[in-house]
């Protein structure tokens, strides 16, 4: 992006990430554990039954992100899209069935660009090999993976409450469309729709900060370019984006954060203050008076952003979770278990041994 992007040399990025890691250690668990836990979830759910769970995932995720840093944003997005549609139950991981609906939640339009399902399934195999079949749910693995994607790109570390069980069905196309925020909506619609899910304005802005990593596809923002340029977009950025997306349906992508696209930091909010947000739903957070000051506060105070982001991630990760004897623990993340009535004894053991007093 000519004249607008500060390209940081590798050694500078490494130093920045190191600083963020130090900050992350300071914040670990501090804000997150202030969030009340949903009954059935625990900070130490697998402490006895699968004590190496998080280290297994972290070790493999380090390799995954080193090989393809773009997967960090992709895997974080999977967790978002799972939780926002019928709760954090791993339903977005399910494939359509020949004996049931062919169209799954996974194939609804907002989810067609999701990727990283193979990473989650590979991690499920590794965890189950170590701890036993039906030992850890795919929805719990997805939540841990999202946290690790944040940490491994320089973001804050935090404790993830665990104990989710996997859903037995996926959402309909209409339910998926109704529950996933559109990139085309303004702040008014965003605040209204997320208020229904118990998120306030600070939560909404903090969650949007996940766009500090990842990419946007041309069709998600070209209506801001054609037929006329959106007045809230920086002109130099608009001209650059027209080169990337010469038509509204060009099959191309651009980074959501111009300044540090592969580092989880607060530069996304700096972009918004400079009219360099890519999506309507992003840039309008600075245009709207109700959220402008929150954007400013995050742009100048990364520690504050990290605190609020951790808080809302833990909050989001507990949306409509299935616990106890509800749902199941899948043997394979993309399909239900063949015996739908079997409830793992391991899970029942978790409920007596692993769950803290609530």
Please state, in angstroms and rounded to a whole number, the distance separating the CA atoms of residues 349 and 352: 5
- Is there a binding annotation on residue 110? no
Would you say 82 is a known binding-site residue? yes
- Peptide bond before residue 227 is cis, with ω within 30 degrees of 0: yes
For 203-241, the DSSP string reads HHHHHHGGGGSSEEEGGGTGGGTSSS--TTS-HHHHHHH
Which residues have C-beta within 8 Å of that of residue 29, sequence separation ≥ 6? Answer: 43, 158, 159
Q: Which residues contact 221 (CB under 8 A, 6 or more apart)?
A: 183, 241, 245, 278, 279, 280
Answer yes or no: is 87 a known binding residue. Answer: yes
Residue among 167, 157, 195 nearest 314 (CA) = 157
181 labeled part of a ligand binding site: yes
Q: Which residues are marked as active site? A: 81
| Residue from 313, 10, 318 nearest 155 by CA | 313
211 is in an annotated binding site: yes
What is the 3-class SS of 84-149, one letter each residue? HCCCCCCHHHCCCCCCCCCCCHHHCHHHCCCCCHHHHHHHHHHHHHHHCCCCCCHHHHHHHHHHHH
Query: Does 159 appear as a known binding residue?
Result: no
**CB–CB of 2/234 below 8 Å?**
no
* Three-class secondary structure of residue 199 per DSSP: coil
297 in the Ramachandran plot: left (φ > 0), alpha (ψ -120 to 50) or beta? alpha
Beta-strand relationship, 215-217 and 253-255: antiparallel
Binding site annotation covers 265?
yes
Q: How far is 72 from 77, CA to CA, in rounded Å?
A: 9
Give me the residues paired with residue 322 across strands: 165
Q: Does 85 appear as a known binding residue? A: yes
Q: Binding site, residues?
A: 82, 85, 87, 89, 91, 105, 181, 211-212, 257, 265
Q: Binding site for substrate, residues?
A: 181
Q: Binding site for Ca(2+), residues?
A: 82, 85, 87, 89, 91, 105, 212, 257, 265
């Amino acid at each position: 992006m000519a004249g607008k992007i500060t390209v940081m040399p590798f050694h500078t990025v490494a130093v920045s990430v190191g600083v963020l890691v130090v900050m992350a250690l300071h914040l670990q668990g501090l804000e997150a554990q202030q969030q009340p836990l949903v009954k059935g979830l625990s900070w130490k759910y697998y402490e006895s039954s699968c004590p190496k769970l998080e280290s297994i995932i972290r070790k493999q995720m380090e390799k995954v992100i080193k090989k393809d840093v773009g997967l960090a944003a992709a895997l974080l997005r999977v967790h978002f899209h799972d939780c926002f549609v019928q709760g954090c139950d791993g339903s977005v991981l399910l494939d359509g069935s020949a004996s049931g609906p062919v169209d799954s939640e996974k194939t609804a339009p907002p989810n067609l660009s999701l990727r990283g399902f193979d990473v989650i399934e590979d991690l499920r195999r590794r965890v189950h090999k170590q701890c036993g079949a039906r030992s850890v749910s795919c929805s719990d693995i997805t939540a841990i993976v999202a946290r690790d994607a944040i940490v491994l790109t320089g973001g804050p570390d935090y404790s993830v409450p665990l104990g989710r069980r996997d859903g037995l069905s996926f959402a309909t196309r209409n339910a998926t469309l109704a529950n996933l925020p559109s990139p085309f909506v303004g702040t008014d619609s965003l605040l209204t729709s997320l208020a229904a899910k118990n998120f306030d304005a600070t939560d909404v802005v903090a969650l949007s900060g996940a766009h500090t990593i990842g990419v946007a596809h041309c069709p998600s923002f070209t209506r801001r370019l054609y037929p006329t340029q959106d007045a809230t977009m920086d002109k130099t950025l608009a001209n650059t984006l027209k080169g990337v997306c010469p038509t509204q349906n060009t099959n191309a992508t651009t980074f959501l954060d111009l300044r540090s696209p592969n580092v989880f930091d607060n530069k996304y909010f700096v972009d918004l203050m400079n009219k360099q947000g890519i999506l309507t739903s992003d840039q309008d957070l600075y245009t709207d008076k109700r959220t402008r000051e929150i954007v400013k506060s995050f742009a100048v105070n990364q520690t504050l952003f990290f605190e609020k982001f951790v808080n809302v991630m833990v909050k989001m990760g507990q949306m409509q979770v299935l616990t106890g004897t509800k749902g199941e623990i899948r043997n394979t993340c993309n399909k239900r278990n063949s015996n739908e009535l079997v409830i793992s004894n391991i899970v029942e053991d978790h409920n007596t041994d692993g769950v803290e007093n609530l």
